[in-house]
Structure formats: C-alpha cells, structure tokens
Amino acid sequence: MPISQWWSSLFSALTPDSLAVSTATNAIGAQVQLEGVQKVFQEGEIERTVLNQVSFTFNPGEFVVLLGHSGSGKSTLLNLISGIDQPSAGTVRINGLAITELDERSRTLFRRDHIGFVFQFFNLIPTLTVLENVALPPELAGKSPQAAQREALRLLDQVGLLDRQNTFPDKLSGGQQQRVAIARALVQKPQLVLADEPTGNLDGETGERVLQRLLSLTRDAHKTLIMATHNPEIAQHANRVLRIQDGRLTPVIVHPDALEEAAA
C-alpha cells in the first residue's frame, strides 16, 4: 500500500456519528488503562502469546518508557493502545472510554482526534512538502487548508524547521525528518503521544536532540507520553520504566545497571 493511503487509513477524514467518540476525553493528558489485555498471534499451527493478561494504568501527563528486546511486544502494545490493532482479549480504556469496544471507524476517529504517533522510520509522505506533511492530519480531520497550515506552521516553528516548510523529506537529514514527524504527531493537540523507537534510526547525538525536543513539547503541554525503546539511557528521563518480557509488564528500578539489564 502506498504510504499516502496507509497514512489516510490511520487518520481518515470522517465525520463523528457518536458523542462518545467526540467528547470522550477532556483532560490535558490522557489516562490509559489496560485490563487483562492479551494478544495472541497465529503462526501456522502455533499460537504465540505476545501479551499475557496485562493490567496497568498510565497516569495523565506522565512519561513512561517501555523496555524489552526486539519482538518482546513493545510495538504490539502501542498498536493496541492506539486502536490500530485489537487485543485477543481484555480492554483498553483511554480516559474511561473502552476503545476496544469501538468499531474500526470509531477507533480511527478517536485516534485522529486524541492520539499522536511517532514512528522509528518517520513515515513522511515523500511527494508532500514538510508543511503539507504536517498539515495533512488536520486537513483529513476536516479543517480548511488555511487553518491546517496555520497549525502546521506553529508546530514547525516549535521544532525549529519553519525555514524548511517548502522542502521535500528526501532533502532533510534523519533528525530533521523525525522533527517533522513529531510536529505531525502533535499538530492535532493530542492528549496521548505514542512513540515507537523514535530515536532508533538516528545517531546518538541527533537522537538525544530529537528526544529533548519531544520531551519538551509533551511535558510543557502535560501530555501523556508512552515510548518504546531499546535505549536504556532514554529511561533516565522517564517518570516510570516498564519492561516487557514473556508477555508480562513489570516495573523497573531506575538505576543504570537495572536499565541495561531490562533493555537486553
């Protein structure tokens, strides 16, 4: 699927037909509750349990890091929280709304209006300029092009890329592309931001600058930030650190030795 179609499928330009979706959340940061969440993948004749009866509450406005080895279930958990995927069992609630009970169309609406997603590989649309990439989510949500561009310019100014608004993504460095992706994730003023290895495709120095920009923008607005990463150094900035292992979610004591072990 072309990336433009894929992106549109995540944030479709739909009109809400349920007040439950349009008014479900009103806090600055979202509370996320996992209640007995299970995710099982069928691989041929074998069932592989990635998440096993996970129950946990992410508090409004906090920054939580998810550590774990590749394939442990970090990305799967973010996809379940965002409503991109559905659990095999259990419930995901965001500010009390059980998004797992919504149909696909309503989940798309909810994600569009309340959740920002930052990906490892940026997922910018190559045929759109920086400004057009950032303005796309509000346009899909029904805002006029002029209003969408105003919001996009505000975010580009905040991430320090206002002077690159007419540039295409392939002319940007990796760090600049990720800053555009952060602006796009925040342009709809979401209450919840999910970040899947946002610095994983960047060198150490660039990754640190991108991380600080993301933390500044989310903390200043008291947004809830949940980040999956392999990098234990990022966990030093978090309010809480969790490890996913053997399908379970467990707290990690925040000191360097414990973080190195949890990320392995």
Here the tokens at position 127 are 């045929």
What's the total number of domains in the chain?
1
Structural domain including 167 reads 3-10+60-84+103-263
47 domain-assigned: no
162 domain-assigned: yes
Helices (H) and strands (E) in the chain, counts: 9, 10
Per-residue pLDDT of the chain (264 residues; tens, 9 = 90+): 444 444 445 544 444 443 344 334 444 799 999 999 999 998 888 999 999 999 999 999 999 999 988 889 999 999 999 999 999 999 999 999 999 999 999 999 999 889 999 988 888 999 999 999 999 999 988 999 999 999 999 999 999 999 999 999 999 999 999 899 999 999 999 999 999 988 887 888 888 888 898 999 999 889 999 999 988 888 888 999 999 999 999 998 765 554 455 455
Q: Residues 111-127, buried b or exposed e (16+ Cβ, 10 A)?
A: bbbbbbbbbbebbbbee
Cβ contacts of 235-241, under 8 Å, gap ≥ 24: 235/65, 235/67, 235/259, 235/262, 235/263, 237/63, 237/65, 237/211, 238/63, 238/64, 238/65, 239/62, 239/63, 239/64, 240/62, 240/63, 240/64, 240/65, 241/64, 241/65, 241/67
21 domain-assigned: no
- For residue 137, the domain's CATH number is 3.40.50.300
> What pTM, to 2 d.p., does this model score?
0.84
Nearest to 14 by CA among 147, 109, 148: 109
23 domain-assigned: no
* Under 8 Å between Cβ of 53 and 214: no
